[in-house]
Amino acid sequence: MKSSVPQPSPPKPGARLLKASASFTQPDVWLLDPAGEPRVWKTFRETPWLARHTVGRYLAGREARNLRALQGMARVPRLLGMPEPWTIEMSYLDAVPVPDQKLDHGLAPGFFEQLEAMLAEIHRRGLNHGDVRRLNVLRLRATGEPCLIDFAQSMKASSPHSLFARVILRRAHHVDRLKFLKIKKWYLGYDVLSDAERAEYARKPLHLKLGRWLRDRVYRRAKHHMQGRRKRKQRR
């Protein structure tokens, strides 16, 4: 059965859709000129006018600012420009998602050490990543080295000595580390973590504990209750 959801219009002839927007807060992601010099567009051009000129402009500008701070760093997208206020153009990484398998995952030796070093470099540049998860961790086709994408949620400190950097960003760096350790543990197992990594992984911030509690005790129970109500109505 074909989906009734309309597909966004290509921003350029021959563009290939990599990821369609799921809401007005998410851009469409396109691959341009795949047979020549491939590059990527993340664009809100298909979102409603008001969202495009508010949320779209803000998120595109924010990610562009973050990518400028990462210029020269290997294995992250390189900002090429902003052809529209709600569109960013980036270099294309010839990479694939990390595998779903825990066992026989095929990740190159040293993969997690390289990924950890990438996060440390991002933190040294005064940013956090903000969304470290397997969806945003890729590996280069040629070498198997890790790549990181999607810096729309990253925060940047204006000064390493500011209150924001010393309080908020430091905690955000800790969250990045926890997400990294979660991925490493998922693939390699808890026993592979060092004593220091285990101690770090155990120090979960209060807001993460609260979020997990709300997810498990409130959201999932409410979702289960609503699904049960719908099923009972369907049986009537």
Give bridge partners of residue 40 from the DSSP assignment: 31, 90
Neighbours of 208 (CB within 10 A): 13
Read off the pTM: 0.84
Q: How confident is the model at residue 165 (pLDDT cuts 50, 70, 90)?
A: confident
For the residues 8-29, what does the mean pLDDT come to?
Answer: 94
Kindly provide the residue ranges of all beta strands, DSSP E only, lying in 85-225, ordered along the sequence.
87-91, 95-97, 137-140, 146-148
pLDDT of residue 1: 44
At the topology level, CATH places domain 8-92 in Phosphorylase Kinase; domain 1 (3.30.200)
pLDDT of residue 183: 97
Neighbours of 81 (CB within 10 A): 11
Q: How confident is the model at residue 102 (pLDDT cuts 50, 70, 90)?
A: confident
Question: Amino acid identity, residue 166?
Answer: R
Greatest mean pLDDT among 1-5, 127-131, 203-207: 127-131
* pLDDT > 70 in the chain, percent: 87
Strand-pair category, 16-19 with 28-32? antiparallel
Task: Indicate if the pLDDT at residue 2 is higher than 70.
Answer: no
Task: Indicate if the pLDDT at residue 217 is higher than 80.
Answer: no
All CATH 3.30.200.20 domain ranges in the chain, comma separated: 8-92
Q: Which helix (H) or strand (E) holds 82?
A: strand 79-84
Of 1.10.8.290, 1.10.760.10, 1.10.510.10, 3.40.50.620, the CATH number of 103-228 is 1.10.510.10
All CATH 1.10.510.10 domain ranges in the chain, comma separated: 103-228
Give bridge partners of residue 19 from the DSSP assignment: 29
Q: 60: closest CA among 33, 38, 79?
A: 79
